[in-house]
Amino acid sequence: MSHPDPPSEGGAPPAPTLTPSDEGPHPPGPEALWNESWYFDWAADDGRLGGYVRLGLYPNLGVAWYWACVVGEDRPLVTVIDHEVPLPGSGLEVRSEGLWAAHNLETAFDHWSLGCEAFAVSVDDPAEVYGALRGERVPFGFDLEWETVGGAYPYPGVDRYEVPCRVSGEVLVGQERIQIDGSGQRDHSWGVRDWWSVGWCWTSSALDDGTRTHATHVTLGDALLYGTGYLQAPGGVPVGVERVERGQELGADGLPSSGWVGFGGDGEGPAEVTLDITPVAFAPVLLTGPEGQASRFPRALCRYTARDGRTGVGWTEWNQPQPQT
């Protein structure tokens, strides 16, 4: 994600107006770390199984990054991580050794379809991803549909938006065929993305009463640089909140063992909604910068419990820049 200056004391800058063309690629800026990315998350309604896809284009570095995975309770992590994919010639179809993936806009802000045929790596301990990525080579693929539930939420002051979804289709892992019908989230951003200078937490949830939530909280050290999010009531559309708070407890290898996120409120009293976060299964990525910088990026399929008793499922990520040696 790009990291803007914090909003002025006068309040957050206005959210941009989105047009259908914003769903597709944008002209790149001149910066080396200018990036455009599309994320697609999904989670089974019981929180036992989930996955995500990320396509990231670095046109000024001449490469695309592609990630895709499936995780779950009592399952190994099955993941594709390729940071040397040739840039797509047109559209959003990419090919590399052992990888084909297509990302198709069917109807702007309403419907995307994704396909993949690849060889993934299966690992029992997700922290192994932070070393040399070795494991059992597994045929992996999917044919999945993301359909919007509610509407799009454009971030204030940043070229990025979020879309809560339902996700359906099929995932293939080896000889296993898994039918998918669950909640999901997708987002799209473009601008400078420096993974190695600031930390953040991004989270989205689908609660059991139909409420949808999202939050992003970006920090430099202990200082808040940017926070935004939304609450979407059952049957409603995303409504932005300016106040976002979060915390986490770190376990082995920096993988969070628990966390929480608070949304809304006036900044004086308690947050309007607070969710406790319980990671179910991790699908992390090690990010290496052009000058050898490193950041650990644990992403987790999670269950959420609101302080009022509601429960839900979704994904949370924590970006963790590592000290340079």
User: How many C-beta neighbours within 10 Å does residue 253 have?
Assistant: 15
Cα 195 to Cα 109: distance, rounded to the nearest angstrom: 27
Domain membership flag for residue 113: yes
Query: What is the pLDDT, as a whole number, of residue 5?
Result: 33
As a residue count, the chain comes to 325
Domain membership flag for residue 250: yes
From residue 302, alpha-carbon distances to 48, 70, 233, 309, 311 in Å are: 9, 13, 20, 16, 11
Mapped onto helix, strand or coil, the DSSP state of residue 34 is strand
Domain membership flag for residue 27: no
Q: What is the CATH number of the domain that holds 185?
A: 2.40.370.10
Query: What is the pLDDT, as a whole number, of residue 221?
Result: 81
Tens place of pLDDT per residue across the chain (325 aa)? 333 333 333 345 566 689 999 999 999 999 999 999 999 999 999 999 999 999 999 999 999 999 999 999 999 999 999 999 999 988 899 999 999 999 999 999 999 999 999 999 999 999 999 998 888 999 999 999 999 999 999 999 899 999 999 999 999 999 999 999 999 999 999 999 999 999 999 999 999 999 999 999 999 888 889 999 999 999 999 999 979 999 999 999 999 999 999 998 766 677 889 999 999 999 999 999 888 899 999 999 999 999 999 999 999 999 999 987 6
- Report residue 293 as tokens: 């910088």
Phi first, then psi: what are they for 112, rounded to 5°?
-125, 150
- Report residue 198 as tokens: 């600031």
Domain membership flag for residue 185: yes
Domain membership flag for residue 50: yes
- Report residue 220 as tokens: 């430099």
- Report residue 252 as tokens: 């082995």
Domain membership flag for residue 107: yes
Q: Are 210 and 235 in contact (CB under 8 A)?
A: yes
Query: What is the pLDDT, as a whole number, of residue 290?
Result: 86
Q: With left for phi above 0 and alpha for psi between -120 and 50, is residue 254 left, alpha or beta? A: left
| 293 closest CA partner among 317, 320, 318 | 320
Cα 71 to Cα 43: distance, rounded to the nearest angstrom: 10
Domain that holds residue 123: 33-321
Cα 69 to Cα 81: distance, rounded to the nearest angstrom: 9
**Number of structural domains found in the chain:** 1
Distance, C-alpha 296 to centroid of its chain = 14
Domain membership flag for residue 8: no
Domain membership flag for residue 196: yes
User: Which residues share a beta bridge with 105?
Assistant: 112
